[in-house]
Amino acid sequence: MSGIALPMGRHTWRLQALPPLALYIHMPWCVRKCPYCDFNSHEAKGEMPEQAYLDALVRDLELALPAIWGRRVVSIFFGGGTPSLFSAAGLDRLLCDIRARVNLHTDAEITLEANPGTFEADKFRDYRAAGINRLSIGIQSFNPRHLKALGRIHDDNEARRAIEIAHRHFDNFNLDLMYALPGQTMAEASQDLRTAVAMESTHLSAYHLTLEPNTLFYRYPPELPDDEQSADMQEMVESALAEAGFDHYETSGFAKPGQYCKHNLNYWQFGDYLGIGAGAHSKLSFHDRIVREMRYKQPAQYMQQVAAGTPVHEHRQVSLDQLPFEFMMNLMRLTGGFLPQLFAERTGLQLTVVEQALQQAEQKGLVARDHTCIRPTLTGQRFLNDLLQLFLTEEPT
């Protein structure tokens, strides 16, 4: 039986207030597609149409303005692909165009994803001058053998140099690491982590390598550590980073106190985000509905559709049946949990609709709660899919 009890009279549903709004900007090109990557990224063959794409982004934003009119944007995230392939001058112009069109918070966090193979000291100095105040650097590993196996375009020396340049110009940056890599031992995973901690970044993202459909690794699987070895690596990551003074605040996110990623936190707290660019996703709330959208994925087709005034490829309204699961799918990633009243604020539903599911989760030891907080237990974090299953509604027959 489903643990969801939805109210009658759904036509009366309303949100009392809109959540915070973030802006995601997708930059789809990369130097070379990594064999594990299932993101919407495309190898740059020949000259990248930078100016045409930036013009399309501005037009895409203009077309979306009626949906976000009057709302303040609290963060911007340039994701990819490899956004650091774009020139600092180009991103400077884009940010100026964005500021002229939206109400950007004066203290907005503006993050740029960067590949160590694209680092140039002057370029990153100019990124900072343009207003980008946070980097997310795709290190993945400091081990040359593992970097080669992952198809990365940088080596371990370039990784270290990129971090040195980041320190020179940025107070706040994230390092992406992966573990359970092909042929990786516990000692090698631990060494990667010790090296990352020694680099003194403010934030670390540690991801378990998974074989995603539509990737080269999925079609030709490499030999990976088994489940037991992977679980041991995960425990090592969590304990080592706790000892180094990092808060484990989200499934894969670790940060020094006060340095949590504001943009990602908005995702996990079921906030809103407008996504522009090829294949970008949006989640937008209105007083009487919540919608999800996706832009056209192929860069050339996306630019054509923007020119035609129709960049949105998919648009759907989130049904009331889906809201509890979508909320929990995000909030249960936060190790510290959430305030009970946030459920009603972000979904427009009363917490009573998930009471049965929460009771089942408590009985299974997956959730702990009181009047101040609902949070996943350590077991709930380890078996997140089992926990989320409890909030799925049954499909109608």
In this structure, the strands spanning 21-27 and 272-276 are: parallel
Residue 28 lies in a domain: yes
pLDDT of residue 42: 81
**Are residue 227 and residue 143 in the same domain, yes or no?**
yes
The DSSP code sequence of 42-79 is: EE--SS--HHHHHHHHHHHHHHHHHHHTTPEEEEEEEE
**Are residue 228 and residue 122 in the same domain, yes or no?**
yes
CA distances from 328 to 175, 193, 239, 385 (A): 27, 30, 26, 11
Query: Does the structure show a pLDDT above 80 at 150?
Result: yes
- The span from the CA of 135 to the CA of 345, in Å, is 31
pLDDT of residue 303: 98
Residue 303 lies in a domain: no
- The span from the CA of 334 to the CA of 260, in Å, is 11
**Are residue 370 and residue 242 in the same domain, yes or no?**
no
Residue 314 lies in a domain: no
CATH code of the domain containing 369: 1.10.10
Residues 6+ apart with CB under 8 A from 251: 333, 335, 381, 384
pLDDT of residue 47: 86
pLDDT of residue 396: 40
Query: Does the structure show a pLDDT above 90 at 131?
Result: yes
**Are residue 25 and residue 166 in the same domain, yes or no?**
yes
In this predicted model, what pLDDT tens digit does every residue of 371-388 receive, in sequence order? 999 999 999 999 999 999
Residues 6+ apart with CB under 8 A from 158: 116, 117, 119
Average pLDDT value for residue range 310-339: 96
CATH code of the domain containing 150: 3.20.20.70
- Token pair 């509890």 in the structure block, residue: 324
Residues 6+ apart with CB under 8 A from 7: 349, 350, 353
Give the range among 67-76, 157-166, 270-279 with minimum mean pLDDT.
157-166
Q: Give, as one character, the DSSP assignment of residue 222.
A: P
Residue 188 lies in a domain: yes
Burial class for 396, CB neighbours closer than 10 Å (0-12, 13-18, 19+): exposed
pLDDT of residue 8: 45
Residue 110 lies in a domain: yes
Average pLDDT value for residue range 39-52: 86
- The span from the CA of 115 to the CA of 144, in Å, is 16
- The span from the CA of 158 to the CA of 116, in Å, is 6
Query: Does the structure show a pLDDT above 80 at 133?
Result: yes
Residue 296 lies in a domain: no
pLDDT of residue 253: 96
Domain that holds residue 341: 323-389
pLDDT of residue 22: 98
Residue 27 lies in a domain: yes
CA distances from 212 to 119, 206, 218, 279, 326 (A): 28, 17, 6, 18, 21
**Are residue 134 and residue 247 in the same domain, yes or no?**
yes
**Are residue 263 and residue 330 in the same domain, yes or no?**
no
Q: CB 105: neighbour CB atoms within 10 A?
A: 15
Residues 6+ apart with CB under 8 A from 219: none
Task: Tell me which of 7 and 110 has the higher pLDDT.
Answer: 110
**Are residue 163 and residue 246 in the same domain, yes or no?**
yes
Report residue 9's pLDDT band, with 50, 70 and 90 as the boundaries.
Answer: very low
Average pLDDT value for residue range 311-325: 96
pLDDT of residue 30: 87
- The span from the CA of 124 to the CA of 118, in Å, is 10
Q: How many percent of the chain have pLDDT more than 70?
A: 96
Please count the residues of the chain: 397
CA distances from 282 to 21, 45, 100, 295, 393 (A): 10, 28, 21, 9, 23
Give whichever of 46-50, 156-160, 370-374 has the largest mean pLDDT.
Answer: 370-374
pLDDT of residue 395: 46
**Are residue 340 and residue 238 in the same domain, yes or no?**
no
In this predicted model, what pLDDT tens digit does every residue of 96-129 receive, in sequence order? 999 999 999 999 999 999 988 887 889 999 999 9
**Are residue 90 and residue 166 in the same domain, yes or no?**
yes
Last residue of a domain, one of 251, 267, 283: 267
Query: Does the structure show a pLDDT above 70 at 3?
Result: no
Query: Does the structure show a pLDDT above 80 at 4?
Result: no
- Look over the chain and give the mean of its residue pLDDT values, rounded to a whole number: 92
How many domains is the chain partitioned into structurally? Answer: 2
Structure tokens belonging to residue 376: 């996943």
Report residue 363's pLDDT band, with 50, 70 and 90 as the boundaries.
Answer: very high
In this structure, the strands spanning 21-27 and 72-80 are: parallel
In this structure, the strands spanning 312-317 and 367-369 are: unpaired
In this predicted model, what pLDDT tens digit does every residue of 180-228 receive, in sequence order? 999 999 999 999 999 999 999 999 999 998 888 887 887 888 888 999 9
Residue 315 lies in a domain: no
Q: Is the pTM of this model over 0.85?
A: yes
* Residue 274, phi-psi category: left (phi > 0), alpha (psi -120 to 50), beta (remainder): beta
Average pLDDT value for residue range 167-189: 94
